[in-house]
Amino acid sequence: MSDSTSSDLVWHKVLESDTLPPGRVTTVAVGTQTFAVSNFQGKYGALDNACPHQGGPLGEGSIEDGAEGRCWLRCPWHGWDFDPLTGESPGGHGDSLATFPIEEREDGIYLGLEPETTRARSNSDVIAETMVNWGIKQVFGMVGHSNLGMADALRIQEENGNLTFYGIRHEGAASFAASAYAKLTGRPAACFAIAGPGATNLITGLYDAKVDRAPVLALAGQVDAQVLGPGAFQEVNLMGAFNDVSAFNHTVFADSKHGELTSLALKNAVLTRNPVSLILPNAVQEIDNPDGVAGSPEGRVADLTIAPPAAVVEQAVARIREAKHPIIIVGHGARFHMEAIIAFAEKMHLPVLTTFKAKGLIADDHPLGCGVLGRSGTPIASWFMNECDLILAIGTSFSNHTGIASYIPTIQIDFDPMHLGKTHAIDLPVCGEIGRTVALLGEAFPDGGQREGIEAEVAERWAIWREEKASRVADDETQGIGAAAVFAAMNRACQDNAIIAADVGNNTYSFGRYFESSGRQAVLMSGYLGSIGFGYPAAMGAWTATQEDDPAFKDRPVWVVTGDGGFGQYMMEVLTAVKYGMNLTHVLLHNGAIAKIAKEQRAAHFAVWKTDLHNPNFAEYVNLCGGRGIRVSDSSQLGAAMAEARDYPGPALVEVMTDPALV
């Protein structure tokens, strides 16, 4: 029993009587503190749980014979010894340990502690407060030994209702989720990892954000600054690792202006639409900073609705007026300006084609919507591409997958001057905020356009393609169900306001070709990076946006389309989705192969090699995880299965056994 009689101690029951045998030590926790409690020579002792050498957990150690004929509590990491009752060291092993009052009472073992003091505000708190001020609501990541200070600051913000933290199973899923959230909303999200492998696992998703122009903040723990260089555990040159992928990449130091540094990072993310990174040495995160000033976007971001020069607008108007068969092609960069673009198209009676990344920005059931142009496209889009004499390209960067003809006169509108004429010379590059620029063009045509009646031609081309698709639904199923049947069923089941995350592979090409977007549906994909595995984490990121109060996304359903290869990369994230109650409807095309690569091997006259997959029953796997999994092997089952998955209030999977040849 402790000799302490202090009346201001708060006593906490830490063990039941007779649960700690003599000669043993254990770890107990009170609030955020841990203690090494031992039962030795008929007495209980309580010591600070951290060995002064390297913080080894003394409660996981053992009581053994040692120096001077005494028994010592031995640290499990490096063998430093301490008296289990007094905390004294036998010498040469550093300072003695703090002891704490402990009492054995009738109902258990009690530890006496000073009343808890107010939590000190730290450098990490300043960073987290700045993130909230800049509008970050979602953080995806994994808490670990080198980011604990920052994690605690995020905990405080979550408890205050300012943001939500989602603990994932792989850091790659965190950065993909953040990228997808940013693509969908235009707002930054954050991903969070420890030093070394945790941080490097973020990089693929950050590159996805970079090439598709999405604002993401990466927060990476780092080993203590004083051990950088000699090769400490999990030491990686994160400045070098992040330098290419991040538009703003800085290590946070003890004397940094932490609010200012975070504001500069987020300003770069928001204005350049790029990932940025802050690297946080372990010790720096926990330094008290009661007077640190949190940053905010106030006075930092100008009104960006900038119009192009009047002379350039006049040139564009003249070219449009002269053309007999102009078309509009919209890319992902036009995502947040479609109201103005569709209004202009309707006024001018112009067909609207989209790039694959922009699928669904205009509904396929809109009278002027022509679907996707290019490798994953529709014959409707190809028809109007071939017939046109002027292209009005808006927010697109002319990917070779899209196949915009460079020989056709082109007006290109983009907010980023570096994207104008990026791949080849453009007849008329127009730099300006897209929504305002398109509105100015519309004002120049008070009586509308000269292509009245084009809607009938669009409808005619759709009728031809829909007849062709219907015939493909009935294709032979001896090797599995065809993609046309899968997406015909998904078209019937999917809600008009759904958000759909698509993975990479044959499943994606088929989705682009056969699925008809309608209503307010939004499509997310790994565009220029084309990273397999994107789909499921992206759906998680999209779902978090539906939990916010923004009426543009609140409570919208989320679907995800993947193949077996892509889902296999992040299938453990089903556990994340179950944990957080994410309502995701997943359509998985299971063909037992990386079929797109097998197809490319054949096209290049190589033998098909090492593209086959050994798969589990994915539906059973999802059921084991706590979701709802349904396997479909006959097309007659598709409708009921998709309806059941859609209506399930949590993560649901329709695993469709498909023929890799019926793409």
**Tens digit of each residue's pLDDT (9 = 90 or more) over 96-126:** 899 999 999 999 999 999 998 888 999 999 9
pLDDT of residue 397: 82
Q: What is the rounded average pLDDT for all residues in the chain? A: 94
**pLDDT of 2 higher than 50:** no
Residue type, 239: M
Distances in Å between the Cα of 66 and the Cα atoms of 45, 52, 69, 100 are 18, 19, 6, 23
pLDDT of residue 489: 98
pLDDT band at 70 (very low <50, low <70, confident <90, very high): confident
Residue 143 main-chain phi, psi, to 5 deg:
-80, 135
One of 3.40.50.970, 3.40.190.10, 3.30.230.70, 3.40.220.10 is the CATH number of 123-285, namely: 3.40.50.970
The beta strands (E) that lie in 5-132 are given as 10-15, 24-30, 33-40, 43-48, 62-65, 71-74, 81-82, 102-105, 108-113
Cα 195 from Cα 202, distance rounded (Å):
11
pLDDT of residue 475: 85
Residue 222 main-chain phi, psi, to 5 deg:
-145, 150
HSE, CB side, 13 Å, CA atoms: give it for residue 313: 18
Same fold, 10-113 and 310-456: no
9 contact partners, CB below 8 Å, separation of at least 6? 101, 112, 113, 114
Q: Are 653 and 588 in contact (CB under 8 A)?
A: yes
Q: How many Å separate Cα 167 from the centre of its chain?
A: 12
pLDDT band at 624 (very low <50, low <70, confident <90, very high): very high
The CATH homologous superfamily of the domain defined by 474-657: Thiamin diphosphate (ThDP)-binding fold, Pyr/PP domains (3.40.50.970)
Q: Average of pLDDT values for 229-255?
A: 91
pLDDT band at 213 (very low <50, low <70, confident <90, very high): very high
Q: Average of pLDDT values for 361-386?
A: 94
Q: Are 90 and 70 in contact (CB under 8 A)?
A: yes
pLDDT band at 403 (very low <50, low <70, confident <90, very high): confident
Taking CA 145 as the corner, what is the angle to CA 268 and CA 63, rounded to the nearest 5 degrees?
170
One of 3.40.120.10, 3.40.50.1220, 3.40.50.2300, 1.10.10.10 is the CATH number of 310-456, namely: 3.40.50.1220
Cα 178 from Cα 155, distance rounded (Å):
18
- Tens of pLDDT, residue by residue over 47-67, are 999 999 889 999 999 999 876
Cα 432 from Cα 571, distance rounded (Å):
42
pLDDT of residue 118: 86
Q: Are 121 and 40 in contact (CB under 8 A)?
A: no
pLDDT of residue 211: 95
pLDDT of residue 4: 44
Q: Which architecture does CATH list for 10-113?
A: 3-layer Sandwich (2.102)
- Tens of pLDDT, residue by residue over 4-32, are 455 689 999 999 999 999 999 999 999 88
Type and span of the H or E element at 500: strand 499-502
Sketch the domain layout of the chain as residue ranges: 10-113, 123-285, 310-456, 474-657
> Nearest-CA neighbor of 541 among 248, 168, 275, 135?
168
Place of tokens 């390209």: 393
- pTM given for the model: 0.92
